[in-house]
Amino acid sequence: MLIHIRSSRKISSLARHALHSSNAHLSVSPQQPSHLPPDEEAAAAAAASFLKTPNWEKNNTLKSLVSHMNPHIASQVISLHSTETDACVRFFTWVCKHSSYCFHPSQKTHLLKLIVSSGLYQIAHSVIMLKLMDCFNDLRDEAGFRLNYPCYSSLLMSLAKLDLGFLAYSTYRRMESDGFVAGEIDYRTIINALCKNGSTRAAEMFMSKILKIGFVLDSHICTSLVLGFCRGLNLGDALRVFDVMSREEASKPNSVTYSNLIHGLCEVGRLDEAFGFKERMGENGCQPSTRTYTVLIKALCDKGLVGKGFSLFDEMIGKGCCKASVHTYTVLIDGLCRDGKVEEANGVCRKMVEDGILPSVVTYNALINGYCKDGRIVPAFEVLAVMEKRGCRPNARTFNELMEGLCRVGKPFKAVHLLKRMVDDGLSPDVVSYNVLIDGLLGSMSSFGIEPDCVTFTAVIDGLCKRGKADVASAFLVLMVRKGIEVDEVTCTALIDGFCKLGKTRDALFILETLGKMRLLTTSHSLNVLLDVLSKGCKVKEELAMLGKMNKLGLVPSVVTYTTLVDGLIRSGDVSGSLRMLEAMKSSGCLPNVYPYTIIINGLCQFGRLEEAETLLAAMQDSGVSPNHVTYTVMVKGYVDNGKLDRALETVGVMVERGYELNERVYSSLLHGLVLSQKGSDDACINKLISMVEQLGGSSTRGVYDFMVTRLCKEGRTDESNELIQTMLKRGVYIEKAIDTVIGSYCGRKEHSKCVELITFVLGTGFVPSFKSFCLVIQGLKKEGETEQARELVMELLSSNGVLEKTRMLDYVNEVIDMVDQLHCKERPIF
């Protein structure tokens, strides 16, 4: 139901909050779009939300989530936290240990490539250097290898250049532990690295240490401190250090010191003081550098004083003390473009080329932006052509400016084609790209007399939230409100869900409370979304408070509401409270389904209250609610953990009778129970498990063999898995998944001859291995240079698919090998 918002006063707080969260698309930290399937995208968003919680590395739910996480999903998780380098590096290291995909070295490299292709260079640098240090540690532990002093010193300089301050400091600590005494240049390097990261407090503490050793303050160290304070916009301390330098001959300010201080003053808008220090430079024998002039010219242009910027440029060239750089020219070109003087800017660009300085991608982008804002799309594309002709590759911003220009002149559909070209060129669209297109398409609708309605905006908001862009989505809520479009509960629930998935529960709670005050809440769905987040965070008090708010608003809690509350109580260890909540649920007339019962039964089993779990299971069935496969699985594990293997087997028998398939958790629990109850070997327990499951009959037999083969392969016992499979084949039982697992394990170990033997054995029993198995072995043989064996296997593949004439097979062998490379085991071709 749509509820029209008539009072602007009612929606003002919600709109202000949304506007504050989005602050238009330029303020949103650029995140790469995922290009992932919806299920993988949801997994990435779920994992990313855990990284906001303390001690997330120990979270069992996250461990389960990442156990089979592929590099593409892991890369998206890192993109969602791109502004938090330390967290991203920790996650990279952690996921490579816990993911069965990312654990392999080639997959780690693939993950790193994805990070680089997303433009997350700072994170990539940190990961590479971290891995390099791990490599040095391994060499030290295994071979007694030690880096020498020159290597350590060079490494410290490289880390400083990459702005990796804390990594530089940890390298210094390793250097010390290896018995090397750092020299003066090393101390300077570490302080510089810390200051470039803005870690001035750590730099000052380190400086105190080296002063105690006997080193004295010099210009290099003090200049680094000035840089660090200026980067943190702490101009008071920067000026204090500068004053100390001015009084001491050993640490007299140099040109770099002045430039850093002038840059800091310009950043906070203190231009008069900045120009004052420029004059003091000459008085103290320091000549302004190209950077000094460029910083001041940019500050003038940012204030709209482009004419004064050119006067300063003329002074710089006239004195002949320094030459203009590409950055200097770019600052002037950008200033002219923002002032609406695009042709003058183009003239400066030509002059720049005449002076032998080639424009950078930033220079071209400034010109393109100027033309687009002026509505002159054709000249903008001409600049793009010139740019590409000169070998300057466009970046994402280049395309964003052009797409925005096309949307300005009412051609958003051409902008969509440009987005496709951008992707074809190997560039990843960012959040600005999509904002530009959405704004353009909405504007295009209006130009045709079609006004976007609540459904249009809700679809956009929901889509952005599902992609982890809740901040951007909130900007569309603001636009919706400004246009006077009716806002309904569905729209805001999508936004609440988006903020919750990003871990921004405060934002979600604010929107929820505003909805309640505006009387827009008609169902419990919005509250359920927030309750789910609180439940997973074990915040029971907040959950119960939310239930109280729900009652005050006159909303009726649903089955989902109570189930979420029950789950939260169990997670926090309050089993008795969960049982009381179940009774409260019944009393309110909301009949429980299988889910709250199963959650409580699981909790009772975990806490060893098995008899109560059995009583609740019986009460559940008496009330007409049938257990599902999860309920039975929970009971099986509960019986095993409490030493009642016979009862676990009885429950498994009931599962099979009722048509439920036994899963890996059931098999794992039974095997664990056998190991605990018997003193025999692991092999004896495995055989006992297989025998027990075979007696149950049905599809369970295949399932237990799949389970055992996978388990043995993970333990490195692939040969035993192979023997198990051959035994089954001899008995006429074909298990495709298990064969794929063994073939994959052998290929991973490059034992392709054993793969060929297994495939031959399978074919000899009258069965045909999967196309996936054929693919893996053919590709492996080809990589190892065993071309003839690969051809023979292709012949077997063709023969098993009905191509019987050997003379005709030879014509297709090379074609099939190429086909295998193209399909990558994804599908079976039709021969």
Res. 531: pLDDT tops 80: no
Res. 698: pLDDT tops 80: no
- Res 381: pLDDT: 92
- Res 725: pLDDT: 83
Question: What does the pLDDT look like over 243-255, one tens digit per residue?
Answer: 888 887 767 888 8
Average pLDDT of span 720-728:
84
- Res 29: pLDDT: 34
CA distances from 92 to 11, 53, 67, 324, 469 (A): 42, 17, 14, 42, 22
User: Which tokens is 546 given?
Assistant: 């939310």
- Res 829: pLDDT: 43
Average pLDDT of span 646-660:
83
Question: What does the pLDDT look like over 471-480, one tens digit per residue?
Answer: 777 777 777 7
Res. 367: pLDDT tops 90: yes
Res. 753: pLDDT tops 60: yes
DSSP string of 682-742?
HHHHHHHHHHHHHHH-TTHHHHHHHHHHHHHHHTT-HHHHHHHHHHHHHTT---HHHHHHH
- Res 513: pLDDT: 75
Residue closest to 174 by CA, chosen among 135, 126, 124? 135
Res. 771: pLDDT tops 60: yes
First to last CA, the chain: 55
- Res 801: pLDDT: 59
Res. 8: pLDDT tops 50: no
- Res 368: pLDDT: 92
Residue 130 banded pLDDT, cuts 50, 70, 90: low
Q: What is the rounded average pLDDT for all residues in the chain?
A: 77
> Out of 284-293, 333-342, 804-813, which region has the weakest mean confidence (pLDDT)?
804-813
Return the residue matching tokens 């408070």: 545
Q: Which residue has the higher pLDDT, 177 or 22?
A: 177
Helices 645-657 & 629-641 angle (0-180, nearest 10): 170
- Res 683: pLDDT: 67
Percent of the chain scoring above 70 in pLDDT: 83
- Res 800: pLDDT: 67
Helix, strand, coil shares, percent, the chain, to 5? 75, 0, 25
- Res 813: pLDDT: 54
Strand intervals (E) in 373-495:
none
pTM of the model: 0.49
Check residue 14 and report its DSSP letter: H
Average pLDDT of span 29-37:
46
As a whole number of angstroms, the distance between CA 98 and CA 79 comes to 19
The domains of the chain are located at 30-145
Res. 830: pLDDT tops 70: no
- Res 330: pLDDT: 92
Number of H helices, E strands in the chain: 45, 0
As a whole number of angstroms, the distance between CA 614 and CA 610 comes to 6
Residue 797 banded pLDDT, cuts 50, 70, 90: low
Half-sphere exposure of 249 (CA within 13 A, CB side): 0
